[in-house]
């Protein structure tokens, strides 16, 4: 039996903010600018990985890898044009507030860099209920490595058995699993229910609003383990 949940750790892109497809199209543009024709479907399925892993998984091995940094910089610049227009997913802020009202610690665990993360926080507009945050600059290895989840656990000041991670990609589920934290997944990032369950998600909901409607049930999944 697991302990009573004391903290919820949240991925942000695709989980709380509706940004996955913006990342997809701006990566597509960045690849095109560098002379690479990468299908958007393949890019979308890689969203949630760290940028270096994403580039390495999508581009051919015989490319000039010295140009990878330029591709990543292009994506950052293209995506930055959307920062002021980022929108939270329905129910995202209310979900965070509901967790806080239940006495849970709320920690955001984003793969974004600090500048991008500032705009994600602004879109969420829920600073008053967020106990701590971590982003890419805090870790050496990006998802699906467990580093980000482990740092979030440290900031939540709880053991893995007393936390739930909420994410939207198989990379989130894998990272949480490697850190020993069960993952509740949402479909709002565009990854299918069966794929998320196959990766190890303990439950899957349509999005933040659906998770909010079933929050007590989701929290009970921790006690049922």
DSSP per-residue letters across 162-225? GEEEEESSHHHHHHHHHTT--EEEEGGGS--HHHHHHHT-SEEESSHHHHHHTHHHHHHHHHT-
Residue 125 burial by CB count (10 A; 0-12/13-18/19+): exposed, middle or buried? exposed
11 is a catalytic site residue:
yes
One of 11, 18, 168, 210 is an active-site residue; which one? 11
SS3 153: helix
d(CA 208, CA 225): 23
SS3 17: strand
Size of the chain, expressed as the number of residues it contains: 225
Residues classed as catalytic: 11
């Amino acid at each position: 039996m697991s302990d009573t949940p004391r903290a919820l750790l949240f991925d942000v892109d695709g989980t709380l903010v509706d940004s996955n497809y913006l990342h997809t199209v701006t990566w597509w543009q960045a690849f095109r600018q560098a002379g690479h024709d990468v299908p958007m479907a393949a890019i979308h399925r890689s969203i949630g990985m760290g940028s270096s892993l994403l580039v390495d998984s999508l581009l051919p091995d015989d490319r000039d890898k010295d140009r990878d940094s330029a591709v990543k910089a292009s994506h950052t610049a293209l995506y930055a044009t959307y920062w002021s227009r980022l929108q939270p997913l329905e129910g995202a802020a209310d979900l965070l507030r509901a967790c806080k009202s239940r006495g849970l610690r709320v920690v955001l665990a984003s793969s974004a860099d600090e500048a991008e993360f500032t705009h994600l926080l602004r879109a969420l507009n829920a600073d008053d209920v967020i106990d701590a945050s971590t982003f890419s600059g805090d870790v050496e290895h990006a998802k699906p490595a467990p580093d980000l989840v482990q740092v979030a656990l440290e900031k939540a000041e709880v053991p893995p058995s007393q936390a739930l991670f909420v994410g939207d990609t198989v990379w989130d589920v894998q990272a949480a699993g490697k850190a020993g934290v069960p993952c509740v997944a949402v479909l709002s990032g565009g990854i299918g229910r069966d794929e998320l369950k196959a990766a190890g998600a303990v439950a899957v909901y349509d999005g933040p609003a659906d998770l909010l409607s079933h929050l007590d049930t989701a929290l009970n999944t921790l006690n049922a383990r």
